[in-house]
Amino acid sequence: MAQWYKISCRNCDYTNELILGSSVTAESLKDLNEDSADFKIFECKNDHELFTIDVHSSDFNNKCPVCGTAITEISIEEIGVHACPRCANKTLKIEPLSHL
Protein backbone atom coordinates (compact mmCIF):
# COMPACT_ATOMS: atom_id res chain seq x y z
CA MET A 1 0.00 0.00 0.00
CA ALA A 2 1.13 3.49 -0.73
CA GLN A 3 1.68 5.66 2.29
CA TRP A 4 2.14 9.41 2.76
CA TYR A 5 5.25 10.57 4.58
CA LYS A 6 6.24 13.94 5.89
CA ILE A 7 9.86 15.00 5.62
CA SER A 8 10.89 17.89 7.83
CA CYS A 9 14.13 19.51 8.87
CA ARG A 10 15.13 20.03 12.52
CA ASN A 11 17.34 22.95 11.55
CA CYS A 12 15.13 25.03 9.21
CA ASP A 13 11.45 25.18 8.25
CA TYR A 14 11.73 22.81 5.26
CA THR A 15 8.83 20.35 5.03
CA ASN A 16 7.69 18.13 2.22
CA GLU A 17 4.91 15.55 1.97
CA LEU A 18 5.59 12.58 -0.26
CA ILE A 19 3.69 9.48 -1.24
CA LEU A 20 5.73 6.30 -1.18
CA GLY A 21 5.22 2.67 -2.00
CA SER A 22 3.03 0.64 -4.27
CA SER A 23 -0.64 1.10 -5.02
CA VAL A 24 -1.02 -2.64 -5.59
CA THR A 25 -3.71 -4.18 -3.42
CA ALA A 26 -4.95 -7.74 -3.19
CA GLU A 27 -7.91 -6.61 -5.25
CA SER A 28 -5.95 -4.97 -8.07
CA LEU A 29 -3.51 -7.89 -8.34
CA LYS A 30 -6.34 -9.94 -9.79
CA ASP A 31 -6.69 -7.44 -12.61
CA LEU A 32 -3.71 -8.06 -14.88
CA ASN A 33 -4.61 -5.17 -17.12
CA GLU A 34 -4.22 -2.64 -14.36
CA ASP A 35 -0.85 -0.93 -14.13
CA SER A 36 0.48 -0.77 -10.61
CA ALA A 37 2.17 2.35 -9.34
CA ASP A 38 5.39 2.24 -7.33
CA PHE A 39 6.46 5.56 -5.82
CA LYS A 40 10.10 6.06 -4.83
CA ILE A 41 12.02 9.06 -3.48
CA PHE A 42 14.36 10.91 -5.81
CA GLU A 43 16.64 13.89 -5.49
CA CYS A 44 17.22 16.36 -8.31
CA LYS A 45 20.98 16.83 -8.82
CA ASN A 46 20.39 20.44 -9.82
CA ASP A 47 18.23 21.98 -7.08
CA HIS A 48 18.44 19.10 -4.53
CA GLU A 49 14.68 19.06 -4.13
CA LEU A 50 13.18 15.77 -2.96
CA PHE A 51 10.12 14.30 -4.63
CA THR A 52 8.55 10.95 -5.41
CA ILE A 53 7.91 9.52 -8.85
CA ASP A 54 5.93 6.49 -9.92
CA VAL A 55 8.74 4.41 -11.46
CA HIS A 56 6.19 2.31 -13.35
CA SER A 57 4.80 5.35 -15.10
CA SER A 58 5.49 5.61 -18.84
CA ASP A 59 6.59 9.22 -18.20
CA PHE A 60 9.42 8.07 -15.92
CA ASN A 61 12.80 8.71 -17.56
CA ASN A 62 15.22 9.29 -14.62
CA LYS A 63 15.01 13.06 -15.14
CA CYS A 64 13.70 15.84 -12.92
CA PRO A 65 10.14 16.70 -14.06
CA VAL A 66 10.85 20.39 -13.34
CA CYS A 67 14.29 21.08 -14.84
CA GLY A 68 15.19 17.87 -16.73
CA THR A 69 18.38 17.23 -14.72
CA ALA A 70 19.42 13.69 -13.75
CA ILE A 71 17.92 12.40 -10.50
CA THR A 72 19.09 9.85 -7.94
CA GLU A 73 16.96 7.49 -5.91
CA ILE A 74 17.08 7.84 -2.12
CA SER A 75 15.74 5.24 0.29
CA ILE A 76 13.74 6.12 3.41
CA GLU A 77 16.71 4.94 5.50
CA GLU A 78 18.99 7.45 3.76
CA ILE A 79 16.79 10.49 4.53
CA GLY A 80 18.35 10.86 7.99
CA VAL A 81 21.84 11.28 6.52
CA HIS A 82 20.74 13.25 3.47
CA ALA A 83 21.46 16.97 3.24
CA CYS A 84 18.42 19.23 3.61
CA PRO A 85 17.47 20.81 0.23
CA ARG A 86 17.15 24.19 1.94
CA CYS A 87 19.87 24.49 4.61
CA ALA A 88 22.18 21.60 3.54
CA ASN A 89 22.44 20.24 7.10
CA LYS A 90 21.91 16.52 7.64
CA THR A 91 18.98 17.17 9.93
CA LEU A 92 16.07 15.70 7.99
CA LYS A 93 13.56 13.33 9.52
CA ILE A 94 10.78 11.33 7.91
CA GLU A 95 7.56 10.21 9.55
CA PRO A 96 4.44 8.48 8.22
CA LEU A 97 1.23 10.52 7.87
CA SER A 98 -2.13 8.94 8.53
CA HIS A 99 -4.42 11.12 6.41
CA LEU A 100 -4.95 8.69 3.52
Interaction site with Zn ion (CB under 5 A): 9, 11-12, 14, 44, 46-47, 64, 66-67, 69, 84, 86-87
Cβ proximity to Zn ion, 24 vs 78, nearer residue = 78
**Residue 19 Cβ, how far from Zn ion at the closest point, in Å?**
19
Cβ proximity to Zn ion, 25 vs 72, nearer residue = 72
**Residue 2 near residue 21, CB atoms below 8 Å:** yes
**Residue 14 Cβ, how far from Zn ion at the closest point, in Å?**
4
**Residue 43 near residue 72, CB atoms below 8 Å:** yes
* Ramachandran sector of residue 60 (left: φ over 0; alpha: ψ -120 to 50; beta: rest): beta
Cβ proximity to Zn ion, 4 vs 51, nearer residue = 51
**Residue 47 Cβ, how far from Zn ion at the closest point, in Å?**
5
